[in-house]
Amino acid sequence: MEGETPLLDELEKGRWPSFVKEIKRAAKKNKAALDLLKVQELSYKDKITHWKHGGIVGVTGYGGGVIGRYCDQPEKFPEVAMFHTLRVNPPAGWFYKTDALRKICDIWEKYGSGMTNFHGSTGDIILLGTKTENLQPCFDELTEAGFDLGGSGSALRTISGCVGPARCEWAMIDTLDITYNLTMEFQDEIHRPRWPYKFKIKISGCPNDCVAAIARADFTVIGTWRDSIRIDQEAVRDYVEKGFDIESVVKKCPTEAISWDREKGVLNFVAEDCTRCMHCINKMPKALRPGLDRGATILVGGKAPIVKGAYLSWVIVPFMKMEPPYMEVKELLRKIWDWWDENGRTRERLAELIERLGLKQFLRDIGLPAVPQIVYRPRSNPYVFLRR
């Protein structure tokens, strides 16, 4: 290996941990990892990818979960001529016991390249690179160890949620339980692609949105509350006495709902002006806490630019209680999928379809009321199709 990959060797230097060291580590035990290293070096030299468009490979009974991948130089790099990837659905919140992780490591050492992503961008455990004949036995052992595949293609993708009530005082909903419950309910939708395109669900416990649900999910669940935030005035004063710059926090309140009365040492708060953005709570977690009437805002449509441009998710239900077994949200999801499946074109994401047919039509068909919270402002043109 020494000296064979001069370009990649550059990336072993520097303070940030090196993925090149990791590939080399795997390459000591595994021929595919060694070829992977060499293909990557060639890409660095040629400035082009050496992976071909995927093929259809998979495991019995599933239509997804495996990404087929072939090298465009199979003679030169026979060990990665086939280099398929398994997406493995992680436990909600990415919590692990080490014995579960070790099992995955052992299985992957036996059947694959020994290289992984912890995790992929959607949140799956990515087992990077194996041959077609290894897919089924690898999958069989994974399920023996209690793991299953995640979503790929035109299916429901692996659902992800933030750390939630497991370790966050701001979790307004049980993100882990919702993630797990929906994942178990929709196993068929995850494993057998049948829709116009991909569909993503992400669940954040509060408006800080630590899993980027609003930007990256077709169906976005964000925890929120309806009553007033809770203020511990004693704790506020304690912050200030310790030199905390409370004015800088108050100044940034987007609706001027809070003000600091220095004389009295009281943080004034107008609950009806608050839009629950989390700013002041984030800055003073010991003194300020979210309210107690908790639920979620449901939004739809978030996605990256391909094809018609990027969208942030749009509010469709300003507030929904989220209690197990989450029937209301499941019913809403099924209605949305039916509508999208019925009306969507190939490779048309939900947002693009809603833009094409109109949010008004979407709300009517799904049976959701039009309320002012779902728009910033009403229309400015007179072109209304009145239904008399």
Partner 1 sequence: MARTDIGPPNYRDMLPEIIKRNYGKWKYHEIIRPGVLKHVAENGEELYSVRVGSPRLVSVDFIRDICEIADKYCDGHLRFTSRYNIEFLTDKKENVDRIIEEVQKLGLPVGGTGNCVTNVVHTQGWIHCHSAATDASGIVKAIMDELYDYFVSMTLPAYVRIAVACCINMCGAVHCSDLAVVGVHTKPPKIDHEKVSALCEIPTTIQSCPTGAIRRHPDPNIKSVIVREDLCMYCGNCFTVCPAMPLADPEGDGVAIYAGGKVSNARKPPMFSRMIVPYLPNNPPRWPEVVDVIKRVLEVYAKNARKHERMGEWIERIGWEKFFKLTGIPFTEHHIDDFTHAVETFRTTTQFKW
Radius of gyration of the chain (CA): 25
Amino acid at 279: H
Of the pair 286, 334, the CB lying nearest partner 1 is at 286
In sequence order, what are the residues at sequence separation of 6 or more whose Cβ sits closer than 8 angstroms to the Cβ of residue 133? none
Asked if 300 contacts 336 with a C-beta cutoff of 8 angstroms, the reply is: yes
DSSP for residue 69:
-
Look-up: residue for tokens 């072993």?
12
- CB-nearer residue toward partner 1: 93 or 337: 93
Question: Closest CB to partner 1 among 78 and 364?
Answer: 78
Of 160, 170, 254, 155, nearest to 208 by C-alpha is 170
Residue 63 CA to residue 154 CA, distance in Å, equals 10
Question: 167 vs 364, which CB is nearer to partner 1?
Answer: 167
Of 131 and 216, the one with the shorter C-beta distance to partner 1 is 216
Provide the minimum distance between the beta carbon of 268 and partner 1 in the complex, in angstroms, as a whole number.
Answer: 19
> Closest distance between partner 1 and the C-beta of residue 197, in Å?
10
Is 174 or 340 the residue whose CB approaches partner 1 more closely?
174
CA diameter of the chain: 79
Please give the DSSP secondary-structure letter assigned to residue 280.
Answer: H
**Beta carbon of residue 355, minimum distance to partner 1 (angstroms, whole number):** 9
337, 195 Cβ separation under 8 angstroms = yes
Q: How far is the CB of 93 from partner 1 (least distance, A)?
A: 6
Phi first, then psi, for residue 59 (nearest 5°) are: -115, 155
Contact 310, 333 (CB under 8 A): no
Give the number of other Cβ atoms within 10 Å of residue 290's Cβ.
23
Nearer to partner 1, 55 or 364 (CB): 55
The minimum distance between CB 334 and partner 1, in angstroms, equals: 18
State in angstroms the smallest separation of the CB of 388 from partner 1: 33
CA distance 99 to 202: 27
CB of residue 346 to partner 1, shortest distance in Å? 6
In the complex with partner 1, which residue's Cβ is closer, 223 or 337? Answer: 223
Within a 10 A sphere around the Cβ of 163, how many other Cβ atoms? 17
Measured CA to CA in angstroms, residue 217 lies from 70, 151, 162, 220, 299 at distances of 29, 14, 13, 6, 9
Q: Are 85 and 44 in contact (CB under 8 A)?
A: no
Cβ atoms 90, 119 nearer than 8 A: yes
For residue 212, the minimal CB distance to partner 1 (Å) is: 4
Cβ closest to partner 1, residue 208 vs residue 361: 208
Q: How far is the CB of 74 from partner 1 (least distance, A)?
A: 14
